[in-house]
Chain A
Amino acid sequence: MENIRPIVEMRNISKTFGSTRALKGVDFTVMHGEVHALLGRNGAGKSTLVSTMSGLVASDTGTIRIDNTEVVANGLPYAAKIRNDIAHVQQTPQLFNLLTVAENLFLENPLVQKKFGMVSHSLMLSKARALLDKWNMDIRAEALAGELSAGIRQLLEIMKALSRGVPVIILDEPTAALSNAEKKMLFEQVKSLKALGISFIYISHHLDEIFEVADTVTILRDGLVVKEREAVGNLNVELIADLMMGEKTARSVRSDHTRYDAPVLLEAKGVGLYPVTEAGVDFQVRPGEIVALAGPVGGGKEALAMMLSGQLTPYKGKISGANDTLPTIGLVPTDRHASGYVGILGVRENVAIGGLDLLSGTFGFIDRKKEAAHVGTLARQTNVIAASLEQAVSQLSGGNQQKVVFARALCHNPQVVVALSPTRGVDVGAKEQLYALLRDLASKGLGVVVVSDEEDEIAQLANRVVIVFEGKIVAELRGDYTMKDLILRMEGVI
């Protein structure tokens, strides 16, 4: 019986990004016709592992066999070889916004191709309609993909993968943007395809989904397998959380400088987030406090932070400070490449644009002495390492770029710092320095708001954790919360 032979066999997979070893010799096996859940905390290596499986990221070592195709990995791209054996649905839909639903569904699909690479439009449309009918989806095949809601787009991405007729499908956080009804639809399709012998690798942060849809579970931690192919019936939430967290007791170094007697620095009253809710959100920051905003992607924590920092105007509710004057706010944006630094300018200019009015004197001309002194102080405070303050920021390492962004945020002598994903893509050393910086700022009486997806980061920094989910504040942790409390709430279990 061929079903005894696994459909996916990965042996000794390892992958290094810069100085980070994301995978350290992982073995991974998937059988025919099963839904195999891959669990682990952020940064455990889940997405990297499935990316090496689909060839999106080339593994450095090991062998990968999917169905009858075998690849010996050596760091070179191999995605083309296994293209017909596996489909990978990524966290964010990779659709072409200006193409129609039908065109997106059947892009590069041999089913609709004729001679000389011509595509039959009518065939494509009829096939797309049939597919949409099968999924009970009430959208036109001619609609542009860019016009659709996030949930529908995610479903289309999944349909596209399923319609390619491959034996193995990776679903990486497929439900992040889906409504409950859409989730049900997806699970039904997954179950019916499973009955046809298709195998799924399923990644999700929502453990309840795992119990609903998965057959077996593999758990990763720090790039290693800590539980291999356990039947889902033998596990429970507590057990999974323990395995994901590991033995190491993350020694908390956070310290509390909150000045409870001082007036509130920055306050949100009835502020409406996305998704839209009736009540709106109330939120306060006090001097010396480090508050973390956590919760699933798209739940509203980023929107709240952008509104607090004045980058986004709330459609309802009000942001205010003490005595109705807004405090000065320094912002560290979530993606430093897109909106953090100006790559072609030097360190000095990048830092100085954060406080141009502070540094300029007569007629708005920059006071060069003041600038040099102020930027120099900030560069020392944030530990920027550069050949000189004139070096272009695009030439610096990721950690130093992020420090420059911090220095810029501090240039205006802010009373509140709002930092989104403050250490994303930053090496361990720089990470510690940035944590120390944030603690130092809090000890000086600044209010600090951190938006983060990393439990470790939050546990090391935050005196208070606010979980934002579906546009509401659903939970709050204060003072001596444990790592377990934190993880379970962030995963949406409690």
Chain B
Amino acid sequence: MSSATPTKAAAPTRMQAFGTAFVSGGYTMYPVLLALVIVGAVVAPRFATSTNLINILEQISVLGLTTIGLTFVVLIGRLDLSLEGIVGFAPMFAAVCLVPAAAGGIGIELPSWMGLLIALGVAGVIGFFNGFMVVRVGLNPFISTLGLLVLLRGGVLIVSNGRSIYSPGPALTYLGSAKLFGLPVSVLVFGVVATIVGLVFKYHRYGRALYAIGGNEDAARAAGINVDRVIWSAFVFAALLAGLAGILMTGRLDSAVTTQGQGIIFSAFAAAVIGGVSLGGGRGTMVGLVSGVLLIGVINNLLTLAQVPSFYVQASTGAVIIIAAVLTTIASRRSSGVKTRT
């Protein structure tokens, strides 16, 4: 590439170049992850079995999809707390539309195949509303999505009358419960979404626009990018992915639970930050994001296997988040010399 430039400024050494590429590519946490897996395999014999590893993957697929959704809006320097509400509300709304009134439905008993469409449709509408509030009304996304989060929590209780809905039908539960080629479909869904979105982030013009807007919104505007449309659509994509995550969760439990998704937005932020996604916008990769999600999954699994009391599991997850965030921030500062806020 440097052949394009007539004179070279001080060229970095090979080692530095590797370090920079390693960090900016999002690989920072993989050595840590590898070490954890090795430690886990030694300490807990049950850890390194294929059943357990698949179990981990299945557990993180919901968090993973939510984190990918969150990353859409975080890349453009915004945030969306309502994703947590969507994880609970979208499948619940679909469920009450499907099941008979006797099972807790609202009595319209739509055909079962519509379940997936309704859930994603509701999620999409919520995302569109979020985009409208931020782009057109000009609200700070923190406050507008916080309000919506609380509203959706209440909305779940209203549409379900406070009761969980069991067996909402195969269309809604297939993705979260079935297996293909010996792997849970939810893991495959997560894998496919992560791959496609990863490619979009890196190689698609939409992904480039996300990074440009997160890095400097005014510059993106001056470059001719339709900034408002990109911001708006990012909120829609985020909500759709959160809706999909909710569907997987409902499938795994074979029921839409009223408390579904509670607390997931914090884990999603943690996974994103651990994976090197900058909360200031403009920085973050799919490779890194996945490492953050995996790290949280592995730690939770290990602590459970080691029979650590659940109170300690929560506290230690928090500690790990802080340590990982510090590591990521230091690594990215060292490698690029550019300050980032995580």
Contact = CB atoms under 8 A, between A and B. Distances in A.
Contact of A311 (B3, B209, B221, B282): B221
Interface in A385-415: 385-392, 394-395, 408, 412
B7 A353 contact: no
B66 to A, nearest CB: 25
B204 A412 contact: no
Given A364-B205, A388-B1, A349 B211 contact: yes
Interface string B198-230: 010001111011011001101111111100000
Contacts of B78: none
A208 B1 CA distance: 56
Contacts of A349: 208, 211-212
Interface stretch (B8-16, B142-150, B292-300): B8-16
Q: Which of A311, A360, A387, A395 has the most CB of B within 10 A?
A: A387
Given A356-B209, A387-B9, A408-B223, A339 B1 contact: no
Given A338-B218, A341-B216, A395 B337 contact: yes
A380 interface: yes
B172 to A, nearest CB: 29
A344 interface: yes
Interface string A299-325: 000000000000100000000000000
A385 B2 contact: no
A141 interface: no
Given A344-B215, A356-B209, A395-B338, A390 B1 contact: yes
Given A344-B283, A344-B340, A379 B216 contact: no
A365 B199 contact: yes
B219 A342 contact: yes
A331 interface: yes
Interface string B1-42: 111111111111000000000000000000000000000000
A486 interface: no
A25 interface: no
A368 B12 CA distance: 24
Contacts of B212: 342, 345, 349, 353
Given A375-B4, A380-B4, A390-B1, 20 more contacts: A311-B221, A339-B216, A339-B219, A340-B219, A341-B216, A342-B212, A344-B215, A344-B283, A344-B338, A344-B340, A348-B1, A353-B219, A354-B223, A356-B208, A357-B205, A364-B206, A376-B4, A387-B2, A388-B1, A392-B336
16 contacts: A333-B218, A339-B222, A341-B219, A342-B220, A344-B215, A344-B283, A355-B224, A372-B1, A379-B5, A383-B6, A386-B9, A387-B2, A388-B11, A389-B5, A394-B338, A395-B338
| Closest A-B pairs by Cβ, 8 of them | A339-B218, A342-B215, A376-B4, A356-B205, A342-B216, A360-B205, A389-B1, A353-B212
